[in-house]
């Protein structure tokens, strides 16, 4: 089991956190400290409830676990979540956490990622990261200017859900956080999860799959698979596998309907062009009119926002059970793109609506705290990115648009 090895290795000698492990990972962890095989199932069930129903952060709170075992667990493991460096609250209630992760292997310094909570009238969505940075370089994405540092571990992915629940008081009987900014009861619950933070989740397949199995587990965090959406830039060979092994909802970052333009906006398109991507969508396991694929389309002024583009989009998606999610471009320091004019966004949305797609324009949330799509990026790296983009501009006079 990969989990077994991970439990043994920790370069800093820090104790491995159990918070975020799946059942197999917990069983292995118990095995490591000498819990006999025949007891493990029962012990895993106990831990599961404490970790994922109650959200406890101390072994001592696990009142039905024997004192002796609690001591053994505490000596070998922790229940830590990723460390919160900062928490920002937007005027619209969106919250963004900057998290610091422990250094591993070849990390030069402690990596950082971001998690965003977006409360809405009928739902609360948590947008989580799957990698530190991203190996892909979509030209309109802030994260894409940051080099990949590493994949997130299973605990670091689930840990984002746990700490968000800690901070917004979303555990049964949870006490209000000290800062007095607790959201009203009706807004509290995290009902949906989107893998739309930093990173390309299909390039961290196993950790993301295990983490989502923990999130979806009906005896624990209980976020149903229909309320979990994985967004991919189009890693075609992994799409079908994700559908059959994880079975969550799928979102595709499409953004262009012609290969020539998509090659530029979403460079992975050069490897897996649009026709192959559409074929993978058509055969996505479980796809139906009740389980549609979301196509994300960021509207970039003068680049992909004409009515001809809207027509091409509708034509391309014909025959695929689809939803269209139009995203006004969220600018970030140093970008060469601009958000489409509001009138143009409306005209585009009207066309797509008239063609039979409910196509909500995704209202940008948390813009004041740079928490909107594609703006995620650790504070500490911003200066460097600005420099980099400025250099790029100087060297590349053929800026699109
Ligand atoms: N790597 C995955 C998931 C993270 S990005 C993917 O690309 O799908 C989540 C969504 O935000 C994607 O649709 C992405 O294209 C979009 N996005 C990135 N930068 C953006 C920006 N500056 N403005 C609006 N949307 C952006
Ligand atoms: Fe990576 Fe997604 Fe950003 Fe592209 S849009 S660079 S795949 S995070």
pLDDT tens, residue order, the chain (401 aa): 334 444 444 445 678 999 999 999 999 999 999 999 999 999 999 999 999 999 999 999 999 999 999 999 999 999 999 999 999 998 888 999 999 998 877 777 788 999 999 998 889 999 999 999 899 999 999 877 877 668 999 999 999 999 999 999 888 765 555 454 444 555 458 999 999 999 999 999 999 999 999 999 999 999 999 999 999 999 999 999 999 999 999 999 999 999 999 999 999 999 999 999 999 999 999 999 999 999 999 999 999 999 999 999 999 999 999 999 999 998 888 999 999 999 999 999 999 999 999 777 777 677 767 666 556 554 434 333 333 332 222 222 222 22
CA of 113 to the centre of ligand 2 (A): 14
State how far Cα 10 lies from the chain centre: 24
In a domain, 320, yes or no: yes
pLDDT value of residue 380: 37
Expressed as residue numbers, the domain containing 288 is: 83-394
Q: What total number of domains does the chain contain? A: 2
Domain identity same for 63 and 105: no
Closest CA to 169 of 208, 117, 120: 117
Distance CA 308, CA 310 (A): 5
Would you please indicate which residues are annotated as catalytic (active-site) residues? Answer: 114, 373
Q: Is the CB of 148 under 6 A from ligand 1?
A: no
Write the DSSP string, 174-191.
Answer: PPPPTTS-PPPHHHH---
Q: Residue 361 in contact with residue 351, Cβ under 8 Å?
A: no
Q: Residue 359 in contact with residue 352, Cβ under 8 Å?
A: yes
pLDDT value of residue 309: 98
Q: Residue 14 in contact with residue 4, Cβ under 8 Å?
A: no
What pTM does this model have? 0.88
Query: In this structure, which ligand is nearest to the CA of 251?
Result: 1
Domain identity same for 65 and 191: no
Residue nearest to atom 6 of ligand 2 (CA): 144
Task: Quickly count: other Cβ atoms within 10 Å of residue 178's Cβ.
Answer: 7
Ligand 2 pocket, residues with Cβ under 6 angstroms: 134, 136-138, 141, 143-144, 199-200, 233, 253
Last residue of a domain, one of 30, 48, 76: 76
Domain identity same for 10 and 141: no
Domain identity same for 93 and 36: no
Domain identity same for 329 and 367: yes
Domain identity same for 19 and 150: no
pLDDT value of residue 39: 95
CA of 310 to the centre of ligand 2 (A): 22
Half-sphere exposure of 275 (CA within 13 A, CB side): 1
Tokens linked to 15? 């104790």
pLDDT value of residue 155: 97
Cα separations in angstroms, 153 against 27, 65, 389: 17, 27, 30
Q: Is the CB of 385 under 6 A from ligand 1?
A: no
Distance CA 194, CA 129 (A): 9
CA of 233 to the centre of ligand 2 (A): 7
Domain identity same for 262 and 357: yes
């Amino acid at each position: 089991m990969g989990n077994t090895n991970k439990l043994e290795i920790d370069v800093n000698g820090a104790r491995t956190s159990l918070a975020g492990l799946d059942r197999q990972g917990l069983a292995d962890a118990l095995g490591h400290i000498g819990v006999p095989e025949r007891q493990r199932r029962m012990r895993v069930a106990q831990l599961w409830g404490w970790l994922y129903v109650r959200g406890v952060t101390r072994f001592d709170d696990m009142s039905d676990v024997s004192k002796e075992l609690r001591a053994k667990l505490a000596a070998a493991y922790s229940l830590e979540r990723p460390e919160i460096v900062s928490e920002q609250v937007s005027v619209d209630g969106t919250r963004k956490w900057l998290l610091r992760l422990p250094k591993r292997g070849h990390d030069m310094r402690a990596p950082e990622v971001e998690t965003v909570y977006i409360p809405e009238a009928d739902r609360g969505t948590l947008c989580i990261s799957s990698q530190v940075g991203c190996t892909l370089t979509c030209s309109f994405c802030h994260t894409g200017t940051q080099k990949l540092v590493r994949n997130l571990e299973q605990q670091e992915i689930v840990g984002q859900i746990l700490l968000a629940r800690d901070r917004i008081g979303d555990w049964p009987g949870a006490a209000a956080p000290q800062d007095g900014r607790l959201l009203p009861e009706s807004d509290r619950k995290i009902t949906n999860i989107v893998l739309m933070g930093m990173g390309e989740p299909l390039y961290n397949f196993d950790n993301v799959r295990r983490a989502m199995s923990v999130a979806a587990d009906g005896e624990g965090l209980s976020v149903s698979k229909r309320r979990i959406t994985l967004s991919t830039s189009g890693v075609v060979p992994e799409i079908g596998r994700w559908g059959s092994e994880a079975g969550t909802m799928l979102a595709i970052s499409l953004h262009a309907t012609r290969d020539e333009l998509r090659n530029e906006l979403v460079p992975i398109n050069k490897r897996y062009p649009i026709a192959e991507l559409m074929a993978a969508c058509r055969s996505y396991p479980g796809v139906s009119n009740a389980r549609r694929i979301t196509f994300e389309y960021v509207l970039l002024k003068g680049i992909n926002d004409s009515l001809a583009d809207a027509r091409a989009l509708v034509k391309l998606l014909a025959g695929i059970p689809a939803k269209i999610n139009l995203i006004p471009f969220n600018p970030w320091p140093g970008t060469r793109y601009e958000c489409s004019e509001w009138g143009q966004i409306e005209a585009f949305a009207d066309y797509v609506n008239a063609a039979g797609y409910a196509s909500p324009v995704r209202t940008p949330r948390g813009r004041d705290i740079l928490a909107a799509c594609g703006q995620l990026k650790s504070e500490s790296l911003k200066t460097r990115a600005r420099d980099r983009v400025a250099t790029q501009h100087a060297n590349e006079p053929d800026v699109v648009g």
